Amino acid sequence: MARMKAPDRRRQLLHAAARCFARHGYRGTRTAMIAAEAGVSEPIIYRHFKSKQKLFIDLITKVADEVFENWQEAAARETSPLDKLRTLLVRNPATSDPRTAEVYRILFHASTETAEPAIRRAIRRHYERYLQALAAVMTEAQQAGQIRSDVPAEWLAWQIIHAAVGFAMIRPLKIPSHAGLAFVQGTVQLLMEVLTRPAEVGAAVAGRRPRGSPEHCGPAPHRLSKRAVPGRGSHKGDIFPHEKSANRKT
């Protein structure tokens, strides 16, 4: 039987590790389990990975690389920043692809299961890559006047990440009201409305609402002042007070 090439063997071990971590968690998985899942001896694992920790970190990195490659391919087909955003929202890697969804369940679990500094750093880097990618598209859309510009692009990106992670954590429970395609599409539409609402009523935000428009009735939406964004990194008070005033259920 031909000996497997190193890149192929690493890929096989990462896939086997993903299945084991999904079943037993990070702490509950031993390298002997991964070896048995892959059909190899345990020393083979240490020939390619220094430790279980290194294997887990490489798994997180590999998934991120694949996700961003898919995102870039999908976004490249769109010309409008707003369409790019919509595409990224639909392609939530924690739910849209069964293979990556499994890894994200492991990542969510590991975030609370272990305090190992190396793993926590790897998970932080993972989310920071998402933040940078989303914030870049958000900035492009803000500059094009397609989404709200009353808050920093990074704040908007974090709201999308919060929504995506929460959605992915609840999805496996298969709650009927949360499982349908219509709900998924509606969720994406609601997020897009949150992103675009001030852009659509820019005159209202500036206090120049056209007569007869729905925004003409009632007080003008509140716009964040620079005073409310000290250093653009403070989270005190209401971050989106004009969204709160809209009384929109999400």
Sorted by sequence, the CB contacts under 8 Å of residue 25 that are 6+ apart come out as 106, 109, 110, 113
Residue 236 forms part of a structural domain:
no
Residue 156 forms part of a structural domain:
yes
Residues 62 and 184 in one domain: yes
Residues 108 and 11 in one domain: no
Residues 35 and 59 in one domain: no
Residue 111 forms part of a structural domain:
yes
Residue 74 forms part of a structural domain:
yes
Exposed, middle or buried by CB within 10 Å (0-12, 13-18, 19+), for 34?
A: buried
Task: Identify the pLDDT of residue 206.
Answer: 45
Task: Identify the pLDDT of residue 218.
Answer: 41
Task: Identify the pLDDT of residue 38.
Answer: 95
The string of pLDDT tens digits covering residues 198-247 is 655 444 444 444 334 444 444 444 444 444 443 444 443 333 333 344 44
Q: Is 211 helix (H, G, I), strand (E, B) or coil?
A: coil
Residues 19 and 123 in one domain: no
**Number of structural domains in the chain:** 2
Query: Residue 23's domain is classified under what CATH number?
Result: 1.10.10.60
Q: What is the pTM of this model?
A: 0.69
Q: Look up residue 34 and give its two tokens.
A: 């991964």
Residue 211 forms part of a structural domain:
no
Residue 212 forms part of a structural domain:
no
Residues 56 and 41 in one domain: no
Beta carbons within 10 angstroms of residue 11's beta carbon: 14
Residues 185 and 61 in one domain: yes
Residues 19 and 83 in one domain: no
Angle at 238 between CA 237 and CA 242, to 5 degrees: 150
Residue 235 forms part of a structural domain:
no
Regions of the chain where pLDDT drops below 50: 1, 201-250
Q: Domain of 163?
A: 52-200
Residues 97 and 194 in one domain: yes
Residues 59 and 158 in one domain: yes
Residue 206 forms part of a structural domain:
no
Task: Identify the pLDDT of residue 2.
Answer: 59
Residues 85 and 101 in one domain: yes
Residues 103 and 188 in one domain: yes
Residues 15 and 108 in one domain: no
Task: Identify the pLDDT of residue 33.
Answer: 96
